[in-house]
Amino acid sequence: MESEAVLLVIKQGTRRPYAEAESDLLERAKEVGEPAFLIVQSFERCLFTKFTGTIPDFATSFSGRIFGPQAEVRWVREADLCRYWLLREDNDGRPALRREQRYYLWGIWDGKRFAELRIPDYQPLAYPLDGNPAQQDRAYIRVYEYYPVPPNPWPSQAEEVEKLLNQPRLLAHRFVGLACGQEQRAKEEEDEDEEE
């Protein structure tokens, strides 16, 4: 998997009381770009929709994210405190290696809906996709994963190498967009079978 060198910015903020944080999040959401999507999690439901400039159910949510091609804003509730992060690439960021991944969602398109037969008594799944998926497509979230840039040259002292190796491998990740298609692994196996 190829990596691209980028400069990663992670800005963190807090706001108390929680109910007043919504305006801060909406201000930062102006940076995410179009198309933008919204995930809001509360005890009553998990909402996944296109972002239209508001955050439904914010007062009862315990976490969420607004994401698009340029940035992601995510938040989590801690009692009466809202902790939030803005992740984006910019010239004032730290060096990182970026890899694009697909995080597949539940369900396979059956011509009418995303069905997940492995879930007993499942409810039909809906994702805010544009256009109609092809038969057997799966929805996925496009994700950028960020990794540390290896030192060049590596330190000569074993203790310094050990410190570098004992750091988290994944620095951060951010959601970028939503799409659908055949799962890559399954498609590759299918292509191999056809070649034989």
For 35-80, write each residue's pLDDT tens digit: 999 999 999 989 999 999 999 999 999 999 999 999 999 999 999 9
Per-domain boundaries in the chain:
4-195
pLDDT band at 156 (very low <50, low <70, confident <90, very high): confident
Answer yes or no: is pLDDT of 29 > 70.
yes
pLDDT band at 191 (very low <50, low <70, confident <90, very high): low
pLDDT band at 193 (very low <50, low <70, confident <90, very high): low
DSSP letters along the chain, please?
---EEEEEEEEEEEESSGGGHHHHHHHHGGGS-SS-EEEEEESS-EEEEE--S--TTGGGEEEEEEE-SSEEEEEEEETTEEEEEEEEE-TTSEEEEEEEEEEEPS-EE-SSSEE-TTSTTPPPB----SSPPPTT-EEEEEEEEEEPPPPSSPPSSHHHHHHHHTS-S--EEEEEEEEEE--HHHHHHHHHHHH-
Answer yes or no: is pLDDT of 82 > 90.
yes
CA distances from 73 to 27, 49, 154, 179 (A): 10, 15, 35, 19
- CA end-to-end span of the chain: 25
**Contact between residue 86 and residue 11 where contact means Cβ atoms under 8 Å apart:** yes
